[in-house]
Amino acid sequence: MGQLPQQLDANLRILEGLQQQLKRTGEAVRAAEDRSSVLQNQIDLLTKLEPPQLEVGIRRSPASAPEDIRDGAAPEDPTITQYNLLKRELTNAQSKYTQSHPDVIDLKRKIANLEPKATELLDKQAALKETRLKDRRARMERNLQEDKPLPPAQDPITERLLAQYKEQNTSALLEAKRLKEEEKKLKEQISLYQKRIEDTPKREQELSLLTRDYDLLKTNYQSLLDKKIQSQMAENLERKQQVNSSKSWTRRACPKNQSARTAIKFCSWEYYSGL
């Protein structure tokens, strides 16, 4: 089914649409896997971050604190990481292709979609970094004045980020799994339509043979039917001629000077004897 010659154009159009959908699905799978990889890196970074790395010893001035503590650095959000990665990919693509190239247009579209959210996150991170820096310096100054060591920092923000990254990573993995299943189904459909297209010439040849045999049988049947009709017409014509000949002979054989009863008997006897 679906292998007839008149269905070839429809099969080709469907196959082209399935191939485009497969390409988009493959890109979505790679994007989900990349997002999961970025999130897993962030999770690993937060997991390896130990409390001693967040401590500052006694008598340490704010200016001498480690750089990550002074700046209140936190792991980069996956959205910002993806945004920066897309910008680098766009720079590389622009160095190789023109502005009208599909890859350049696609990267610009993705960057434009992420830019508002990335800008908002960057502003929030900057504000958060400034707040944490001020809080850290105030604590350090109090500890220096009281001549006490700085206790290990309790960072609820890091814990919140860790939980958020784990949730996003799980979502990305599930999305990648769903897209892979969809990709598998698309490949099966593509194989089906490719098989139909490949079998179309064979079905066309078979249909041509069937059409030829049908035309031959139809011609033979029509010839036999014509012969039968001609035979019936000839038989009817012959019978009609015999009847007309008998009637004509009867009129000639019957005598005119005899009585009606005698003439009828004589004509009847002559008629039946003639038959």
- Tell me how many domains the chain contains: 1
* Pair 196, 3: CB distance under 8 Å: yes
191-197, long-range: CB within 8 Å, 24+ apart, which pairs?
A: 193/11, 193/14, 193/15, 193/18, 194/15, 196/2, 196/3, 196/7, 196/11, 197/8, 197/11, 197/12, 197/15
DSSP at 59: T
Q: Is residue 215 part of a domain?
A: no
Residue 268: inside a domain: no
pLDDT of residue 66: 39
Structural domain contains residue 140:
yes
Position 208 pLDDT exceeds 80 = yes
The answer to whether position 227 is within a domain reads no
- Determine, yes or no, domain membership for 230: no
Residues 6+ apart with CB under 8 A from 230: none
Residue at 161 is within a domain: yes
For the segment 246-275, what is each residue's pLDDT rounded down to a tens digit? Answer: 666 555 555 555 455 555 555 555 544 544
Highest mean pLDDT pick, 26-35, 42-51, 79-88, 233-242:
26-35
Q: What is the pLDDT of residue 178?
A: 92
Calpha distance 44→35 (Å, rounded): 14
Longest pairwise C-alpha distance within the chain: 173
Is 243 within the bounds of a domain?
A: no
Dist CA 38 CA 25 (whole Å):
20
Nearest to 252 by CA among 271, 234, 229: 271
36 in a structural domain? yes
Domain hosting residue 86, numbered range: 5-209
**Residue position matching structure tokens 């066309």:** 204
Taking alpha carbons only, the member of 174, 182, 177 closest to residue 24 is 182
Angstrom distance (rounded) from CA 27 to CA 29: 5
Please write the tens of the pLDDT for every residue from 138-194: 777 776 666 555 444 446 777 888 888 888 999 989 999 999 999 999 999 999 988
Higher pLDDT, 134 or 52: 134
